[in-house]
Amino acid sequence: MFKNFFLCVVLFCVINYLNSAEIYSLKKNYEKVVTIEGTDQNSIKRGMQSGLSTLLVNLTGNSKISNQSSITKMIDSPETYVTQYKLGSKDGKIVATFIYEGDLIRSYLSQNELPIWLSDVPLILTFLPCVEIDKSTQNANELEKCNELKNNLESLSLERNAKMTRPLMDLTDINYYDTLGSIYPQRFMEIISRRYEIDSWIFCFTKDEFGLLLEEPKCQSSFGNVRLSPQEMFNDLLDDINSRRSLVVNKNIQNKTKIRLEGINSFYALENTLEDLSTQVLIYNVSILEISGENVEINLSHYGSREDLLSLLDIHENYKKISNLSQDIIAFEYFKG
């Protein structure tokens, strides 16, 4: 009896703690720091527009979102979404810190049927021959261009909420590169991306096929064969990745869906399960209905339709839907923890 009571108290504390944590897509407020030209109202408004534009790219996962007519209208009145701001200085420049109201922005996106990006941070396998292969033979000019390329990609990754990783370049990778890299870079990247089990990749060049230094680096990626500037290619790749991991969140539609998770064989696994569900963008409340052996029945309060919730869970590799005869409950196997 006491054991069951203690378990209920612990679960209650865990659920309340997890539900109180904010995730990026559903935060109440967003802070953006922007360099502005002056302290006059026009300069401040332009700063508000710049911060809002950057925020919308992160919320929707789309670098071209500002081309939407409804977003253009939104950015024309940025002060609608700013709750407060303050001015300061840094390195001799005027900076403004703007606080944007998340609920208002999400409401506008929902009303105009625009997506909200929801997923784990994308992982991109990045290969730069000037870093991995040619560094020891570079002159000062080549080294400068290589470092600039590397820094630009790191800045883009930070701006777009992505993570970059590099291959180990052990004997296996080096053999692949010697065989394919300089002649068939796409084939080389496809092979090592399978080796590291990372679907998305980017390969950037500082030299042409004759070994001559390019005026500007060029990149190609898993998104396509065309070689573009690092910024164009990186944004196109992230836009493609995020488009497959986005949903329209309409907070005016609220539902409850019962699910069963199978394979929960420890309290640690249960804790991970509750934490993972509580951080999903559509879900705003998680309550346990029943624990039976390794199966847990959970009631999820969420925005959008039941189909939206299923689409959300299908996006995440932690959940695998299990065939179930009952129409009242959806069964999943949970793989994390």
The whole-number pLDDT of residue 289 equals 94
Give yes or no for a contact between 264 and 328, defined as CB atoms under 8 angstroms apart: no
- Per residue in 320-333, pLDDT (tens digit) is 888 765 667 888 88
Say if residue 221 is exposed, middle or buried (CB neighbours under 10 Å; 0-12, 13-18, 19+). Answer: buried
Cα torsion through 41, 46, 47, 49, rounded to 10: 130
The CA distance from 209 to 275, in Å, is 50
CB 332 within 8 A of CB 295: no
pLDDT recorded at residue 326? 62
| Helix/strand/coil (H/E/C) assignment for every residue in 71-124 | HHHHHHCHHHHEEEEEEEEECCEEEEEEEEEHHHHHHHHHHCCCCEECCCCCEE
Q: What is the per-residue pLDDT across 69-113, written as a single tens digit (0 to 9) for each? A: 999 999 999 999 999 999 999 999 999 999 999 989 988 988 888
Residue ranges of the chain whose pLDDT lies below 50: 1-22, 337
Q: Which of 8, 6, 2 is nearest to 288 (CA)?
A: 8
- Nearest CA to 127 out of 240, 209, 217 is that of 217
User: How much is the pLDDT for 337?
Assistant: 47
Residue type, 88: G
pLDDT of residue 69: 93
The whole-number pLDDT of residue 336 equals 67
